Amino acid sequence: MNSFGLLYRITSFGESHGAAIGGIIDGIPAGIKIDLDLVQKELDSRRPGKSELTTSRNEKDRLEILSGFRGNTTLGTSIGFLVRNTDIKSEDYDALQDIFRPGHADYTYQMKYGICAESGGGRSSARETVARVVSGAFAQQILQQWHDIQIDSQIQEIGGEISPEAQKEAILQAKKEGDSVGGIIECRVKNIPIGLGAPVFDRLEADLAKAMLSIPATKGFEIGSGFASARMKGSEHNDEMEMKQGKSVFLTNNAGGILGGISNGEDIVFRVAFKPASTIQKLQQTVNKNGEEVTLENPGGRHDPCVVFRAVPIVEAMCAHVLLDHVLRSRATTSPIK
Amino acid sequence: MNSFGLLYRITSFGESHGAAIGGIIDGIPAGIKIDLDLVQKELDSRRPGKSELTTSRNEKDRLEILSGFRGNTTLGTSIGFLVRNTDIKSEDYDALQDIFRPGHADYTYQMKYGICAESGGGRSSARETVARVVSGAFAQQILQQWHDIQIDSQIQEIGGEISPEAQKEAILQAKKEGDSVGGIIECRVKNIPIGLGAPVFDRLEADLAKAMLSIPATKGFEIGSGFASARMKGSEHNDEMEMKQGKSVFLTNNAGGILGGISNGEDIVFRVAFKPASTIQKLQQTVNKNGEEVTLENPGGRHDPCVVFRAVPIVEAMCAHVLLDHVLRSRATTSPIK
Amino acid sequence: MNSFGLLYRITSFGESHGAAIGGIIDGIPAGIKIDLDLVQKELDSRRPGKSELTTSRNEKDRLEILSGFRGNTTLGTSIGFLVRNTDIKSEDYDALQDIFRPGHADYTYQMKYGICAESGGGRSSARETVARVVSGAFAQQILQQWHDIQIDSQIQEIGGEISPEAQKEAILQAKKEGDSVGGIIECRVKNIPIGLGAPVFDRLEADLAKAMLSIPATKGFEIGSGFASARMKGSEHNDEMEMKQGKSVFLTNNAGGILGGISNGEDIVFRVAFKPASTIQKLQQTVNKNGEEVTLENPGGRHDPCVVFRAVPIVEAMCAHVLLDHVLRSRATTSPIK
Amino acid sequence: MNSFGLLYRITSFGESHGAAIGGIIDGIPAGIKIDLDLVQKELDSRRPGKSELTTSRNEKDRLEILSGFRGNTTLGTSIGFLVRNTDIKSEDYDALQDIFRPGHADYTYQMKYGICAESGGGRSSARETVARVVSGAFAQQILQQWHDIQIDSQIQEIGGEISPEAQKEAILQAKKEGDSVGGIIECRVKNIPIGLGAPVFDRLEADLAKAMLSIPATKGFEIGSGFASARMKGSEHNDEMEMKQGKSVFLTNNAGGILGGISNGEDIVFRVAFKPASTIQKLQQTVNKNGEEVTLENPGGRHDPCVVFRAVPIVEAMCAHVLLDHVLRSRATTSPIK
């Protein structure tokens, strides 16, 4: 299924080299003012081709809103939108059509569907994230307007490096070698209301984990203390509380802002691991559709030595998506009606 | 919402000290033979009170099937089941009713619902996992019958220790100190058919991530190379392929068995991080419902220095759940009808 | 799937001669007071065996609540409940096990599932409506508390008769003949807030239609002017408006309280057609599982000449279900947050 | 929510005078060949402006497929599509912007959303059915290819008239008077496999009822014997069975092809009542947004004296939608795997 979310829901479509990428957003109340320039800006920040550090594909990605608005105000109906694919050079890929590129979904798509898009990665291309960024940008604006929620993601690591300089060096080195590097993004959410989330299956961290692992190239998710918690004692890990100016506060935040699946008012903090991009220019051993072993000499298409920068707006978008969905759920079912 | 899964779905209910924990399973085809003794055995392995290493609460947990079966064969209708709570000593908890226990969901439940169960952790207690283990045990048997799928989880780390002896030592030490330790479980799935999963939002690893992070006390999830992938180069990370006895095979499995959200036929391998149990016997600083600072002297109830052992069947259950759901989806929509 | 509703959701289980009928209710906010005696009373009114006009099966139907409550107040968690089947005389049915009873689901269940419950109608028995009545009774109380919504169903026709005396006569006549009669129930909802419902697929009348046609033995649904509207002119049918004491009001209610899928504040009025009960004592020609023609001499079990009385609480329950679901949806997504 | 269906799902968007109407279709397996000309033809038959009997708005409605296809073969991914709105004369409607037109959703939309589209009926316009017709046309082709299922709808009544000549007369008369007439459509499905549907909530007739009542201007639904069943005796209504050439067959079809929510192999037969179109040219008394009583003199826009013709492809589309959804569900969960 190509939908995400229960009450705030994006349904998306689009192959990388098809006519367009787009989606339908459901669940935005009527009468909300949206700054569409800001949405376009988020789209731009996802776009490759802006610096020496990323691929040179220049997609422009102009957002076209097809419904759900009167001026800049939502109507309460579903919002249809699309972004045309304008920079399609399918010949770049043609030679590759029959080869299962290592790290890509070519093999699994072929085995599952028995057919693939005419060129490009089709639905498995990260280009599908265009739709997520649009719906996430809407969500971010609504979260800000309603609760002043701030979502801020930072690159924590690239190629194992912590400092920006070393990270840039690692990327340029990988580019020179025709190789790629991965990284880790940390996302922090401020001003989150207490009480978002649910017990049992729809815990807030569970929905965030699904959202993050649904982003292409992700390999891991951790909340708060994360994997490090496995090496801590309960007495170190438990976040103690005290009263401060008449308000209960936590002394630490190993929980990452969520207890028992429900936000506790502290910052929500989580990290997402991205593998190095699968498209590289080094020789790779693989097989093709005819069951022949082949050497992939030059994967062609564009080569992006590090996708982590471009993933930042996607992480924020998916985070906003989950949060707005839970804000809407809370409005529906949590509080006794006044 | 208290449901999990699209086509194979468990809906559950039950507070830790209420009358019963139970659930309804939807999506099992008619005519499947289920060994209910094996289901009970899985339940037993989740149960505390079996050794010096775990809490002494002895819940018995006898499974009662209320519908959906004729003998040991499924009818194709929904399966209602319950497990009575028999060992309820609510007085153990009474003194704690007004205190927000560190690491527990007391605070967030109070803020969200403004009311809590009469005693015990209510819905936030790990006792809710009884329902997951039942539906997961059903799923495991079906996966085995249909595809010989084997799900096998191992404790990889406890208290930072790798060897069983050191792990046991760490647990006993924590017990002596009234403290607790966390750990990491690795789950491996063999004989998985190629083609399970979906592009974009319902990627197999995304659904596994949600399933795992919905288990109480989990703080992280990683698939295949996981967080380590962030420090690898593309040329190291990409799993190359070759032909072997006329079949395409992967030379490595950094992907963890999933490419582009879809299983590639290799073992699915993932790891889940568990924090140390929140209930400890050390003094802890916290606050109560009246906004007073209090010292939690003796949390009472049972104290389990390490919940990781008991989590093993839960990890396997939730994994089986996700896989069967995707097997059913594949049957519905993937292959052209024959 | 055995679930109904998006935000207010009942998931049910149970075969007519199994251990129990039950369900899980999701979506009730915390802190709601429920009069459980009233719920039991609704259950009792659904029960057969109370008069000469209905079957003599005496099921008692004592409601057992398993979770989600503290005293009579909801916890905000899922509510598990069950009703034991106490009056099971499966021998009544044994002789029928292999015969496809006309009007019953025996044939379609056998063809779909290839297996049936040990005795009785299994999941196809109207006994499953026990779970609907419980969740509907909860919904009715909440609708009343929040909006003073009143749901009132009346029998409009039985055996083609309008007057109660003639209806009773028709039923007794049918009973004497070993036959059965159908009827029509009209349901009217007062004090409905304006704005419930949704455009396009989840129109309020569409969800009501689904709810009603999911009740056993129903054959038709109409809202407001219903089938008669097909013979009216637009100028007759359109409900004109005027101002009355500063408020806009409708002069007529052909719409049945819903315009464009959304409640307009007028009474919601709809009608449901029930076929005559399928179990009769007249000779009927049919076939059995072995592909032999047989004459069904005495269907055994209980014989209820008219199920329409017992359907009244079920119609109200399902109506309440749909309305509360839409009230919750409205709270989530309609109005701009204050 | 703007989605319909569980496994075969259409999600739609679009206001009548916005940029476009469109949707996303989910659930079509890969490798299916679709004749897109036939889909366009269905769209054309929904289009007004083709004869003196319908409105003169000429929308063209050229279908643009944006994803999910390679040539005429499905990729197994979501199918995005749109139809541009080309004949937008919003000035026709401008004078009406503040008036609640009788029979239309203007009032309820205003009360629910507090904002309306710039012109036209917005999301409440029947123009949204464009998206349904597209996804229904896809479904019809798949049902035909897989099971040779034939869906055939006929107009049974217009303005109370049975014969085509009298119907035409009634429409022309209504047109002359500036009035409108309603009607009844009967839909018959042949070659339906036995076993589609589900017990309890997702009965096939329940899903059909929802589908039909979600179509604009519908007021009633009945299956098989329908409302007439309420006046029949069980002995008349029950469909008896016999063996014919080694196959069990039904002697009558009062069930309308569905027993216990599951198809029994007989033709599925149902009827849908349509009210007379709300837009008429007669004087009507109503109120406006300012709470003033006004006389609606000339509703402007286009006036279609009878929408029932145009509803035929919509009824078939929604019927196909429900059936394909249940075919996919059956593939997933019904039969034991071979």
Chain C residue with minimum CA distance to A338: C146
Q: What is the pLDDT of residues B6-38, one digit of tens each?
A: 999 999 999 999 999 999 999 999 999 999 999
Nearest residue of chain A to residue B122 (CA atoms): A199
- Please, which pLDDT band fits residue D160 given cuts at 50, 70 and 90? very high
- Look at B203 and A214 and tell me if their CB atoms are within 8 Å: yes
Instruction: Say if CB A96 and CB A122 are below 8 A apart.
Output: no
Mean pLDDT of chain A: 92
Quick one: closest CA in C to D277, which residue?
Answer: C234
Question: At residue D96, does pLDDT exceed 80?
Answer: no
Query: Considering CB atoms only, which of C210, C227, C276 is closest to D220?
Result: C227
What is the predicted pLDDT for the residue at A338? 41
Q: Which residues of B touch C (CB under 8 A)?
A: 1-3, 9, 11-15, 18-24, 26-27, 30-31, 64-68, 70, 73-80, 82, 112-118, 122-123
Q: State the pLDDT confidence band at B86, using cuts at 50, 70 and 90.
A: confident
CB contact under 8 A, A1 and D76: no
Measured between beta carbons, which residues in chain B are less than 8 angstroms from residue A3?
Answer: 201
pTM of the model: 0.96
Q: Is pLDDT above 90 for C166?
A: yes
Average pLDDT over residues B147-153: 97
pLDDT of residue C338: 42
Does D74 score more than 70 pLDDT?
A: yes
Residue D332: which of B146, B199, B332 has the nearest Cβ?
Answer: B332
pLDDT at residue number C54: 59
Smallest CA–CA distance from D336 into chain C, residue: C113
Helix count and strand count (H, E) for chain A: 8, 17
Instruction: Report the mean per-residue pLDDT for chain D.
Output: 92
From chain A, the residues in CB contact with D62 under 8 A are none
Whether residue B264 contacts residue B247, with contact meaning beta carbons closer than 8 Å, is answered with no
pLDDT, residue A22, reads 97
pLDDT higher than 60, residue D91: no
Confidence band of D321 (pLDDT split at 50, 70, 90): very high
Q: Tell me if A228 sits within 8 A of A279, measured CB to CB.
A: no
How do residues B306-320 score in pLDDT, each as one tens digit? 999 999 999 999 999
Q: Which residue has the higher pLDDT, B46 or B194?
A: B194
The pLDDT-based confidence of D206 (bands split at 50, 70, 90) is very high
Mean pLDDT of chain B: 92
Which residues, 6 or more positions from C44, have their beta carbon under 8 angstroms from its beta carbon? C50, C61
| Residue tagged 């590759």 (tokens) | A96
Q: Please judge whether A284 and B235 are an interchain contact, meaning their C-beta atoms are less than 8 angstroms apart.
A: yes
Q: Which pLDDT does position A52 carry in this prediction?
A: 58
**Which is nearest to C304 in space by CA: C194, C216, C212?**
C216
Give pLDDT, residue A23: 98
pLDDT above 70 coverage of chain B, percent: 91
Interface touch D280/C255, C-beta < 8 Å: no
User: pLDDT by residue (tens digit) across A126-152?
Assistant: 999 999 999 999 999 999 999 999 999
Q: Compute the average pLDDT of residues C215-243.
A: 98
Mean pLDDT, consecutive 10-residue stretches, chain A (338 aa), reads 96 95 97 96 77 59 95 96 80 70 95 86 91 97 97 97 96 95 98 95 98 98 98 98 96 98 98 96 95 84 84 97 96 66
C188 pLDDT more than 80:
yes
pLDDT of residue C118: 79
| Substitution target from D11, D83, D123 for chain A, most A beta carbons within 10 A | D11
**Contact between chains at B334 and D28 (C-beta distance less than 8 A):** no
Residues of D within 8 A of A75 (CB-CB) are 15, 113, 115-117, 122-123
Chains in contact with chain A (at least 3 beta-carbon pairs closer than 8 A): B, C, D
Of A151-165, C203-217, D38-52, D280-294, the poorest mean pLDDT is in D38-52
Please list the residues that pair with B81 across neighbouring strands.
B23, B65
**Do the Cβ atoms of A13 and D75 come within 8 Å?**
no
| Amino acid, single-letter form, for residue D335 | S
Query: What whole-number distance in Å separates Cα of residue C80 and Cα of residue C28?
Result: 12
Q: Which residue among D2, D177, D210 sits closest to C209, beta carbon to beta carbon?
A: D210
Residues of chain B neighbouring A235 (CB-CB closer than 8 A): 177, 179-180, 280, 282, 284
The pLDDT value given to residue B337: 45
Per-residue pLDDT at C69 exceeds 60: yes
pLDDT per residue over C119-161, tens digit each? 778 998 999 999 999 999 999 999 999 999 999 999 999 999 9
More confident residue, C138 or C48: C138
Select from B28, B32, B332 the Cβ nearest to the Cβ of D329: B332
Interface test with A, best of D1, D3, D13, D130 (most A CBs within 10 A): D13
| Cross-chain Cβ contact C234/D105 below 8 Å | no
Which tens digit of pLDDT belongs to each residue from A273-307? 999 999 999 999 999 999 999 999 865 556 789 99
Length of chain A: 338
Q: Express each pLDDT in A260-269 by its tens digit.
A: 999 999 999 9
Interface contact flag, B122 C22, Cβ < 8 Å: no
What is the arithmetic mean of pLDDT over C177-191? 97
Asked if residues D1 and A9 have their Cβ atoms less than 8 Å apart, the reply is yes
Mean pLDDT value across residues B45-68: 73
Which of the residues A1, A13, A16 would you substitute to probe the D interface, choosing the one with the greatest number of D C-beta atoms within 10 Å? Answer: A13
- Sequence-separated (6 or more) residues with CB below 8 Å from residue C209: C221, C223, D206, D209, D210, D212, D213, D221
Whether residue B128 and residue A279 make contact (CB cut-off 8 A), yes or no, is no
For the cut 70, the answer to whether the pLDDT of residue C211 exceeds it is yes
CA nearest to C337, candidates A325, A142, A7, A8: A142
**Å between D151 CA and nearest CA of chain C:** 20
Is B32 in contact with D336 (Cβ distance < 8 A)?
yes
- pLDDT at residue A198 in the model: 94
Considering Cα of D194, then D195, then D199, then D201, what sign does the dihedral take?
A: negative
Cβ contact, residue pair A246, B273, below 8 Å:
no
Q: Which of B30, B77, B331 sits opposite D331 (nearest CB)?
A: B331
DSSP C233: B
Query: Do strands C218-223 and C241-244 pair parallel, antiparallel, or not at all (unpaired)?
Result: unpaired
* Interface residue of C26, C75, C109, C116 to substitute, partner B, most B CBs within 10 Å: C75
Above pLDDT 90, what percent of chain B?
83
User: Each residue of D239-265: pLDDT tens digit?
Assistant: 999 999 999 999 999 999 999 999 999
Question: Does C96 have pLDDT greater than 90?
Answer: no
Residue of A nearest to D8 (CA): A1
Residue D89: its pLDDT value, please? 58
Mean pLDDT, chain C, as a whole number?
92
Summarize the confidence of residues C198-223 as an average pLDDT: 97
Among residues C180, C257, C269, which one has the least CA distance to residue C221?
Answer: C269
Query: CB–CB of C275 and D237 under 8 A?
Result: yes
State how far residue C76 is from chain A, nearest Cα, in angstroms.
7
Query: D135-155: per-residue pLDDT in tens?
Result: 999 999 999 999 999 999 999
How far separated are the first and last CA of chain D, in Å rounded?
37
> A333 and C146: CB-CB below 8 Å?
no
Residue bearing the bigger pLDDT, C62 or B90: C62
Note the ipTM here. Answer: 0.95
CA distance C97 to chain B (A): 14
Is the pLDDT at C170 greater than 60, yes or no? yes
Model confidence at B95: pLDDT above 80: no
Average pLDDT, stretch C172-176? 94
The pair of structure tokens assigned to B163 is 């060897």
Residues of D in contact with A123 (CB under 8 A): 67, 75, 77-78
Test A80 with D30 for CB contact under 8 angstroms: no
Structure tokens at D317: 């589309």
pLDDT beyond 60 at D90: no
Contact D77 A112 (CB under 8 A): no
